[in-house]
Chains A and B, each alone.
Chain A
Amino acid sequence: MAYSDKVIDHFNNPRNVGNLDKDSEQVGTGIVGAPECGDVMRLQIQVKDGVINDAKFKTFGCGSAIASSSLATEWIKGKTVDEALRIKNTDIVEELSLPPVKIHCSVLAEDAIKAAIKDFQAKNGAASPTEAAAT
Chain B
Amino acid sequence: MTLKKPVYLDNNATTPMDPRVLEAMTPYFLEKFGNAASRNHAYGWVAEKAVDLAREQVAKLIGASAKEIVFTSGATESDNIALKGAIEMYKTKGKHLITLETEHKAVIDTCKYLERIGAAEVTYLKPQPDGLVDLAELEATIRDDTVMVAIMAANNEIGVIQPLAEIGALCHAKKVLFFTDAAQAVGKIPMDVEAMNIDVLAISGHKVYGPKGIGALYVRRRKPRVRLAPLVHGGGHERGMRSGTLDVPSIVGLGKACEVAGEELEAESARLTKLRDRLWNGLKAELDFIYLNGHETKRLPNNLNVSFAHVEGEGLMMAMKDLAVSSGSACTSASLEPSYVLKALGVGDELAHTSIRYGLGRFTTEEEVDFAIAQSVQAVKRLREMSPLYEMAKEGIDLSTIQWSVH
Chain A residues with CB under 8 Å of chain B are 3, 11, 14, 17, 19, 31-42, 57-63, 65-66, 101, 104, 107-108, 111
Contacts and interface: CB of A to CB of B under 8 A. Distances in A.
A122 B315 CA distance: 33
Contacts of A3: 318
A36 B312 contact: no
A37 B391 CA distance: 18
Contacts of B312: 38-39, 60-62, 65
B407 A58 contact: no
Contact of B348 (A17, A36, A59, A101): A36
B387 A35 contact: no
A127 B81 CA distance: 71
A57 B75 CA distance: 46
B301 interface: no
Interface residues of B, number: 30
Contacts of B334: 101
Contacts, number: 87
Question: Which DSSP category, helix, strand, loop or mixed, fits chain A's interface?
Answer: mixed
Contacts of B319: 11
A62 to B, nearest CB: 4
Interface in B1-17: none
A35 B404 contact: yes
Interface string B302-324: 00000000111111001100000
B386 A66 contact: yes
A59 B386 contact: yes
30 contacts: A11-B319, A17-B385, A17-B386, A19-B391, A32-B405, A33-B407, A34-B406, A35-B349, A35-B353, A35-B399, A36-B350, A36-B404, A38-B312, A38-B313, A38-B329, A38-B330, A38-B338, A38-B353, A39-B312, A40-B404, A57-B386, A59-B386, A60-B312, A60-B390, A61-B312, A61-B315, A62-B315, A62-B318, A63-B314, A101-B334
